[in-house]
């Protein structure tokens, strides 16, 4: 499914040329972007699709164009190692299941994120045709039939995903994704609450940096956790925008209560991380606080 990643498409196709009996490319780029020329090199079939901001409907379209018994979904910014390719060929000969989840090794700002809730990042990507389809909404859950199985979450059996190469790329995608996510929430009946501007981003940060041990990814983990928290903030701000920036008073005493409660949650997760690091309890807390 090619939108703007033409410059990395050849890398993805090279990684599957030895195992694929048929290659189907779904092209959403404007004419002249060079997809056809690359496709000819790999003897791939190109099918054009109108541009959409997320991949789920395009995946269903691409699956419909495939003629083989087994389907491997690969995005242009991904590739598979030879070890995974051999594994998939072996599975196809003796499957034992109708669909398989594969781990993804996400490269963000030049580093493989082993924590921060980015690993193993299982996705259903290999399946018998007809066993999997996608709900046509952003981050929709695949609909499956038959038995499923997981391929071991080992680096040699993981899809390599070159996720974000720059801050500019992250922000550009974030702007698109948050617009879609905010519309989905309003369509579901959500009404803006100012408290969510505090609680939702913080919960996202805590879930990645502390619960997901993002601190083990170093400054990359901190940066990604903050960016994901910022993305959550933007979703709820866009919902407020859709309500014409309705003016609402905020009781400072209520703000104090919210911030005090959130500080307790931060303290819990900080102490949890310190305990994992040192084996010593800094403060004994009675319960585990929530994260999203």
Among residues 111, 123, 288, 283, the alpha carbon closest in space to that of 210 is found at 288
Contact 73, 23 (CB under 8 A): no
pLDDT at 141: 82
**Three-state SS at 270:** helix
Q: What does pLDDT average to over the chain?
A: 92
Among residues 47, 3, 48, 51, the alpha carbon closest in space to that of 23 is found at 47
Residue 127: in which H helix or E strand, if any? Answer: strand 123-128
Calpha distance 263→122 (Å, rounded)? 32
pLDDT at 34: 83
pLDDT at 166: 96
Calpha distance 270→248 (Å, rounded)? 33
pLDDT at 2: 52
- How far CA 284 is from CA of 198, 215, 219, 268, 280, in Å, comes to 25, 22, 28, 9, 10
21-30, 37-46, 198-207, 275-284: range with highest mean pLDDT: 198-207
pLDDT at 277: 87
Q: What is the pTM of this model?
A: 0.88
What band does 140 get if pLDDT is binned at 50, 70 and 90?
Answer: confident
**Taken in order 96, 100, 101, 107, is the CA torsion positive or negative?**
positive
Considering the chain, what percentage of its residues have pLDDT values greater than 90?
82
In this model, does residue 224 exceed pLDDT 90? yes
In this model, does residue 32 exceed pLDDT 80? no
What band does 286 get if pLDDT is binned at 50, 70 and 90?
Answer: very low
In this model, does residue 68 exceed pLDDT 80? yes
- Give the per-residue SS3 of 74-125: CCCCEECCHHHHHHHHHHHHCCCCCEEEECEEEEECCEECCCCCCCCCCEEE
Contact 225, 214 (CB under 8 A): yes
Cis ω on the peptide bond leading into residue 139 (within 30° of 0)? no
What band does 175 get if pLDDT is binned at 50, 70 and 90?
Answer: very high
What band does 281 get if pLDDT is binned at 50, 70 and 90?
Answer: low
CATH 3.40.1530.20 fits 6-162, yes or no: no
Among residues 62, 81, 79, the alpha carbon closest in space to that of 23 is found at 62
Domain ranges of the chain: 6-162, 166-278
Considering the chain, what percentage of its residues have pLDDT values greater than 70?
93
What DSSP assignment string belongs to 145-165?
A: -S-EEE----GGGSEEEEEES
pLDDT at 98: 98
Calpha distance 225→95 (Å, rounded)? 38
Contact 213, 117 (CB under 8 A): no
User: Alpha helix locations (H) across the chain?
Assistant: 6-16, 35-41, 56-65, 82-93, 167-187, 196-206, 218-242, 252-278
């Amino acid at each position: 499914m090619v939108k703007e990643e033409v410059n990395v498409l050849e890398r993805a196709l090279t990684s599957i040329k030895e195992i694929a009996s048929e290659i189907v490319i779904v092209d959403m780029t404007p004419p002249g972007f060079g997809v056809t020329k690359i496709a000819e090199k790999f003897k791939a079939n190109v099918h054009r699709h109108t541009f959409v901001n997320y991949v789920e409907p395009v995946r269903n379209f691409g699956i419909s164009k495939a003629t083989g018994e087994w389907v491997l979904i690969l995005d242009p910014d991904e590739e598979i190692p030879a070890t995974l390719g051999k594994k998939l060929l072996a599975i196809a000969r003796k499957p034992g299941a109708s669909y398989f989840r594969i781990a993804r090794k996400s490269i963000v700002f030049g580093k493989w994120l082993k924590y921060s809730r980015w690993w193993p990042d299982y996705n259903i990507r290999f399946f018998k045709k007809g066993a999997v389809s996608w709900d046509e909404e952003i981050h929709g859950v695949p609909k499956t039939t038959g038995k499923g199985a997981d391929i071991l979450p080992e680096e040699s059996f993981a899809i390599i995903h070159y996720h974000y190469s720059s801050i500019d790329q992250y922000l550009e995608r974030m702007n698109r994704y948050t617009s879609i996510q905010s519309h989905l929430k309003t369509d579901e009946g959500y009404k803006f609450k100012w408290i969510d501007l505090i609680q939702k981003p913080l919960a996202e940060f805590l879930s990645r940096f502390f619960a997901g041990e993002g601190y083990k990814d170093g400054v990359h983990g901190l940066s990604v956790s903050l960016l994901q928290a910022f993305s959550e903030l933007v979703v709820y701000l866009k919902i407020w925008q859709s309500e014409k920036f309705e003016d609402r008073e905020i009781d400072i005493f209520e703000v104090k209560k919210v911030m005090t409660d959130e500080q307790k949650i931060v303290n819990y997760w900080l102490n949890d991380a310190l305990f994992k690091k040192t084996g010593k309890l800094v403060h004994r807390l009675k319960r585990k606080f929530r994260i999203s």
